[in-house]
Amino acid sequence: MTSESALFKAEFNPRLQQYLFFSIALILLATVVGIPLLLIWILGWGQWVSRIHYRSLTCSLTSRHLRFSKGHYFKTEKTIPLENIQDLTFIDNPLLKWFDLRILKVETAGNSAQTGADMKLVGILDAAEFKEKVMRARDEFQESRMSRGTATTVDEVGTLSVLRDIHAAIEGLREDLKGKA
């Protein structure tokens, strides 16, 4: 795998730490089991977890991929090829608006409606600009693939040859079955 240099590195809004703290506090408050944990969360553990999570966030755009990672103890890293990105959508809710944040949902080819988005980026600074850069990079990547020519590569020629051989073998088997019937 070749290492690509980042065309753009997204920065995350520092208010994302407060959003994480309050959203988890609301979840703890809404559950009976979470109410005792709420005190521990408010007295320091929540601020520490929110700060560590915020510091672990990275998102970069390369000429071929969109890369995102999060988490300190339970790390998640996702790499989405630009050619697979279908759409980028903004999501808002009252809590996000209060903290002046947005969610940028990345939808990819082959993504089923039941599984949701392949990637949700919460709290990117200048999210609209980031979205434009990703879409522009995707379009440039697709144009460069098209401009490299429509000639088939050696691998494609070999694959076509194998497929033709398989087709001929299947047709031969059909003829044999017809003769025996």
Residue 25 belongs to a domain with what CATH number? 2.30.29
Please report whether residue 178 resides in a domain. no
pLDDT at 21 over 70: yes
Please report whether residue 71 resides in a domain. yes
Q: In the chain, how many domains are there?
A: 1
Q: Which residues contact 139 (CB under 8 A, 6 or more apart)?
A: none
Q: How confident is the model over 69-122, as pLDDT tens digits?
A: 999 889 999 999 988 888 899 998 898 999 999 999 998 876 555 555 578 999
pLDDT of 151 reads: 46
Please report whether residue 65 resides in a domain. yes
Please report whether residue 139 resides in a domain. yes
CB 79 within 8 A of CB 66: yes
Residue 4's pLDDT band, with cuts at 50, 70 and 90, is confident
Residue 159's pLDDT band, with cuts at 50, 70 and 90, is confident
Instruction: State the chain's mean pLDDT as an integer.
Output: 85
9 forms beta bridges with: 60
pLDDT of 15 reads: 94
Largest CA distance in the chain: 82
Please report whether residue 38 resides in a domain. yes
Please report whether residue 74 resides in a domain. yes
CB 141 within 8 A of CB 127: no
pTM: 0.69
E strand segments, the chain: 8-10, 58-61, 65-70, 76-81, 85-91, 103-108, 119-122
Summarize the chain as % helix, strand, coil (round to 5): 50, 20, 25
Domain range spanning residue 82? 8-148
Please report whether residue 166 resides in a domain. no
CB 13 within 8 A of CB 124: yes
More confident residue, 65 or 181: 65
Please report whether residue 156 resides in a domain. no
